[in-house]
């Protein structure tokens, strides 16, 4: 899932996403709550119509964002009080309020509100946060069930002209398995959570936040047999091509990361032989596309020389084309992973890709 | 013609232009000469291939830009010496060098190098500049004829993979009629210039540079019978919807202006009832498109509320959508003008449009 923080995947048009084969996007509850406001999105017919994206949308719970507001928030059992990064105003998230906000936004998949802690927290802090996250999950689930029972649904009705299909099916609540890099905490959380409900999917949180790669892989491996085999597993906040490959071979189905668009806006392009810095001096007259193996709308039409020129000249089109290429690259990579799984060749596919990515692009001349 | 200063119409993709019905774009010789360099563009197969634009391209002569570098340039009969606005390096344009640069860029229409003066210059300064521009036109024409005779052509051959069709037809040199707001100077220039060669088209320069609207219209009216009836007339640096309408009814065929894209990036949208400031507070929950009468890719999909949200949140997509709408608006306007000319109703069409534009958008609530 490319990340559409504020209801737009930065620098890209929904059409760019569709044509790159993107099936699902993520949007951020914290950011949309502050601007334009979940009430505004609701009034305009929900997030699908607002951002003209007819495919599935997942909204996060805002937990990661508010816990990142170091010094601007206080936590208790009820929820989190924080100050808006925009205007400093005092706000409060609780499991219940976050469910209501996500209902207003109207995504297809909504995330539980969880207690997020730093990546290398000790076992005591990790246990407390994991257990609180599970108590909050119970409150999220109760809130969702209560609102479904009373027939509340995310979309405003009839307030805005129908530009895209409105989505009236119930929202799928995903729980988040926490527990840091502590095997027993992870197992305990997985067992309690999977016992609570027949979830549509399960998320794995608190990884890719500063721990070592072997620690992350170990957590994925021990969770593999603990999670339902027939439901998607979503590894939050990951990642780069190498991370996606390593996680897919350990059973993960769904990812989100700002990397493809953020790196694109910073002038870095993924390629099948590693990353390219588009600013490289020797690209000044390079007629080749970013990646000869890529068929994205940037690589089909434009040279490295042109993209370098756009980037150096601060031209907006350059930001869009590099973002588009990077998103297309990751989606194509995951399409390849799916085909390899179906063909029973995921391990050799993964090894080949990791070798190729590690070989690096041609050196600067 | 939307303006693609550095080989990209700011914030837009060539596909956006095509889908908006744009037939021709302008690019700036001065800017491309400095960055990436006309030699680089030539090596990469010329401007069409470089920017993936297969339609006609016009390059200006750089005259307007170098004469705008107040304090950074000196003029003599041979040409203009100036300092680059990027790195302060000393550079020189002459009629001959500007023809060579435009040959390297490889546009379909190239402009003569002319002596540009402030908009309200007196008759003496205007005559000197007009007469020098005509002497420079003779040198431009001689240079173009010499290069055609020796078989020089703009495109590098075989150096870059063919991504778009290369353009091998001769470049059409357009002269520029100067003369400020002095009727006799304008007439004299038009007569001398039209007597010099069988031009493919003729440009009118030195208007929309600070003179009054009635003065501009008077110049267009007196030039009307002086210019060849069967060749396009290009009014340089114009303009806004009202200006285009007034100029079309006075015989002008071709325009260029940064207004649609620059205004779009500044949050202003053209509409059939005047301009809209997308930041308006009452657009916060407005589900309507910018212009109910518009069928552009922004108006077909997005609300004013969403565009306002993008703009206020500094999202790149907002800049693209507003630029796209504005370009689409002007192209549609000119398509309407052409139909009205063919139907013999240009005067009533123009009056109706001017009334509508002057009525203004609905007031802020």
What confidence tens digit (pLDDT) does each residue in A247-305 have? 999 999 999 999 999 999 999 999 998 999 999 999 999 999 999 999 999 999 999 99
**Distance in angstroms (rounded) separating the CA atoms of residues B129 and B50:** 35
**Taking a C-beta distance cutoff of 8 angstroms, is the pair A21, A332 a contact?**
yes
In chain A, residues with a C-beta closer than 8 Å to the C-beta of B313 are 6, 35
From CA A192, how far away is CA B104, in angstroms rounded? 70
| Matching residue, tokens 């989100």 | A256
Of A8, A306, A318, nearest to B317 by CB-CB distance is A8
A contact residues 294-323, partner B, Cβ 8 Å cutoff: 297, 300-303, 305-306, 309-310, 312-313, 315-320
Closest CA to B130 of B182, B197, B173: B182
Q: What is the mean pLDDT of residues A185-213?
A: 96
Res A279: pLDDT: 97
pLDDT digits (tens, 9 = 90+) for A20-67: 999 999 999 999 999 999 999 999 999 999 999 999 999 999 999 998
Assess contact for A327 and A335: CB atoms under 8 A.
Answer: no
Q: Which residues of B touch A104 (CB under 8 A)?
A: none
Q: Smallest Cα–Cα separation from B131: which of B110, B117, B111, B146?
A: B117
**Which letter does DSSP use for residue B282 in this model?**
G
User: CA-CA distance, A243 to B306, in Å (whole number)?
Assistant: 34
User: What span, in angstroms and rounded, lies between the C-alpha atoms of A343 and A212?
Assistant: 31
Q: How big is chain B by its Cα radius of gyration, in Å?
A: 21
What distance in Å separates the CA atoms of residue A221 and residue A54, rounded to the nearest whole number?
Answer: 34
Q: Is B50 on the interface with A (CB under 8 A)?
A: yes
Q: Decide if pLDDT at A156 tops 70.
A: no
Q: How confident is the model at residue B169 (pLDDT cuts 50, 70, 90)?
A: low
Q: Is the pLDDT of residue A159 over 90?
A: no
Q: Is the pLDDT of residue B201 over 80?
A: yes
Residue A98: which of A170, A24, A32 has the closest Cα? A32
CA distance A314 to chain B (A): 10
Closest CB from B163, B315, B318 relative to A301: B163
Global pTM reads 0.94
Residue B135 above 70 pLDDT?
A: yes
Q: Which residues contact B238 (CB under 8 A, 6 or more apart)?
A: B207, B208, B244, B247, B252, B255, B256, B257
Is the Cβ–Cβ distance between B143 and B95 less than 8 Å? yes
pLDDT score of B157 more than 50: no
Q: Which residues of A touch B11 (CB under 8 A)?
A: 316-317
At A248, give phi and psi (nearest 5°).
-60, -40
pLDDT bucket at A169, cuts 50 / 70 / 90: low
Query: CB distance B44–A303 less than 8 Å?
Result: yes
Of A10, A14, A43, the CB nearest to B315: A10
Q: Which long-range contacts (CB under 8 A, 24 or more apart) does B68-75 make?
A: B68/B116, B75/B115
Q: How many CB pairs under 8 A join A and B?
A: 114
Split at pLDDT 50, 70, 90, the class of B163 is very low
Contact A7 B306 (CB under 8 A): yes
The continuous run of DSSP H or E covering A208 comes out as: none
User: What is the rounded distance in angstroms from the CA atom of residue A188 to the CA atom of residue A185?
Assistant: 5
Give the span between the Cα atoms of A96 and B246, in whole angstroms.
60
DSSP-based helix, strand, coil % in chain A, nearest 5? 45, 10, 45
Pick the residue from chain A with its C-alpha nearest to B50. Answer: A306
Answer whether B6's CB lies under 8 Å from B32's CB: yes
Contact B42/B106 with Cβ under 8 angstroms?
Answer: yes
CB B287 to CB A313 under 8 A? no
Of all residues in chain A, what percent carry a pLDDT higher than 70? 95
| Confidence tier at A365 by pLDDT (50, 70, 90) | low
Contacts A161 to B, Cβ<8 Å = 287-288
Looking at residue A350, its pLDDT comes to 98
Q: Given an 8 Å threshold on Cβ–Cβ distance, is B35 in contact with A312? A: yes
ipTM score of the complex? 0.94
Return the number of other C-beta atoms located less than 10 Å from residue B229's C-beta.
8
Q: Looking at the complex, does the CB of residue A35 fall below 8 Å from at least one CB of chain B? A: yes
Q: Do A306 and B44 touch (CB under 8 A)?
A: yes
What's the CA gap between A319 and B199, in Å, rounded? 40
Q: How much is the average pLDDT of B55-77?
A: 91
For chain A, give the mean pLDDT.
93
Whether B215 contacts chain A with CB within 8 A:
no
Active site residues of B: 60, 256
B58 vs B107: CA distance, rounded Å: 5
Cβ contact B11–A317 (<8 Å)? yes
Confidence of residue B168 (pLDDT cuts 50, 70, 90): low
Angle between helices A316-343 and B316-343 (to 10 degrees): 110
Helix, strand or coil for residue B239?
coil
Confidence at residue A164, expressed as pLDDT on a 0 to 100 scale? 36
Q: What is the pLDDT of residue A152?
A: 58
Which letter does DSSP use for residue B341 in this model? H
Q: Report the alpha-carbon angle A64-A69-A72, nearest 5.
A: 140
Catalytic residue among A16, A108, A256, A291: A256
Q: What is the mean pLDDT of chain B?
A: 93
pLDDT band at B336, cuts 50/70/90?
very high
Determine the Cα–Cα distance for residues A91 and A82; give it in Å rounded to an integer. Answer: 5
CA of B282 vs chain A CAs: smallest distance (Å): 12
Question: B233-235 and B202-204 as β-strands: parallel, antiparallel, unpaired?
Answer: parallel
For residue A166, list chain B residues with Cβ-Cβ distance below 8 A. none
CB A26 within 8 A of CB A60: yes
* Contacts with A2 (C-beta within 8 Å, 6 or more apart), sequence order: A9, A12, A17, A22, A25, A26, A256, A260, A261, A327
Whether A108 is catalytic: no
Closest residue in A to B315 (Cα–Cα):
A10
């Amino acid at each position: 899932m490319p990340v559409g923080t504020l209801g737009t995947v930065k620098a890209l048009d929904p059409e760019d996403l569709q044509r790159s084969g993107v099936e699902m996007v993520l949007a951020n509850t914290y950011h949309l709550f502050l601007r334009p406001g979940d009430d505004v999105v609701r009034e305009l017919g929900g997030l699908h119509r607002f951002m003209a994206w007819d495919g599935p949308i997942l909204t996060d719970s805002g937990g990661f964002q508010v816990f990142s507001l170091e010094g601007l928030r206080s936590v208790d059992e009820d929820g989190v009080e924080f100050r808006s990064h925009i205007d400093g105003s005092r706000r409060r998230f609780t499991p219940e309020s976050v469910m209501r906000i996500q209902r207003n936004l109207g995504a297809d998949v909504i995330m539980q509100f969880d207690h997020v802690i730093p990546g290398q927290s000790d076992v005591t802090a990790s246990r407390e946060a994991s257990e609180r996250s599970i108590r909050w999950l119970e409150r999220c689930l109760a809130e969702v069930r209560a609102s479904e029972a009373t027939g509340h649904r995310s979309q405003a009705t009839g307030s805005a002209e129908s530009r895209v299909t409105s989505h009236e099916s119930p929202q799928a609540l995903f729980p988040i398995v926490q527990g840091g890099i502590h095997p027993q905490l992870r197992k305990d959380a997985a067992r309690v959570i999977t016992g609570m409900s027949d979830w549509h999917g399960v998320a794995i949180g608190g990884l890719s936040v500063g721990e070592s790669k072997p620690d992350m892989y170990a957590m994925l491996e021990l969770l593999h047999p603990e999670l339902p085999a027939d439901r998607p597993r979503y590894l939050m906040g990951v990642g780069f091509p190498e991370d996606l490959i390593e996680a897919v071979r350990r059973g993960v189905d769904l990812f989100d990361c700002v990397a493809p668009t953020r790196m694109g806006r910073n002038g870095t392009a993924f390629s099948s032989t590693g990353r390219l810095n588009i600013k490289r001096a020797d690209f000044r007259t390079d007629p080749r596309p970013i990646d000869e193996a890529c068929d994205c709308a940037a690589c089909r039409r434009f040279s490295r020389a042109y993209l370098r020129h756009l980037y150096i000249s601060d031209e907006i089109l350059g930001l869009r084309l590099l973002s588009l290429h990077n998103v297309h690259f990751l989606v194509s990579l995951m399409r390849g992973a799916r085909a390899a799984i179906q063909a029973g060749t995921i391990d050799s596919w993964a090894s080949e890709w990791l070798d190729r990515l590690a070989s690096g692009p041609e050196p600067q001349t």
